[in-house]
Amino acid sequence: MSLSEKLSRRIELFREEVEQWQDAHAEAMACLELQEALTFGLWLHQQINSAESQWYAAVDAEQIPFSETEETAIGKLYSLWLLPSVRLLQEIQRFESSGFHVDQANEFREAVEQSRSCAWTGPLSAEANERIQRFQSLSADELAALAKRHPPPASWFDEEDLD
**pLDDT of 81-110, one tens digit each?**
998 888 899 999 999 999 999 999 999 999
Other CB atoms within 10 A of residue 111 CB: 23
CB 55 within 8 A of CB 151: no
Instruction: For residue 113, give the nearest of 142, 140, 78 by alpha carbon.
Output: 78
Q: Is 58:152 a contact under the CB 8 Å cutoff?
A: no
Q: Is 118 exposed, middle or buried (0-12, 13-18, 19+ CB in 10 A)?
A: middle
Question: Quick one: pLDDT at residue 63?
Answer: 94
126-157: pLDDT as tens digits: 775 676 677 667 665 676 566 666 655 554 44
Which residue from 152, 157, 146, 144 is spatially nearest to 61, judged by alpha carbons?
152
Q: Look at residue 163 in the predicted model and tell me its pLDDT.
A: 42
pLDDT given for residue 146 in this prediction:
64
Distance CA 91, CA 94 (A): 5
Q: Residue 83 is which amino acid?
A: L
> What pLDDT score does 113 carry?
94
Please tell me the predicted confidence (pLDDT) of residue 128.
Answer: 59
What pLDDT is stored for residue 112 in this prediction? 95
Reply yes or no on whether the pLDDT at 12 is more than 60: yes
Secondary structure element (H or E) that encloses residue 3, with its range:
helix 3-60
Predicted confidence (pLDDT) at residue 114 exceeds the cutoff of 60: yes
Domain spans, the chain: 36-150
pTM, full prediction: 0.62
What pLDDT score was predicted for residue 26? 76
| Residue 153 CB neighbour total at 10 angstroms | 11
Is a pLDDT exceeding 90 seen at residue 23?
no
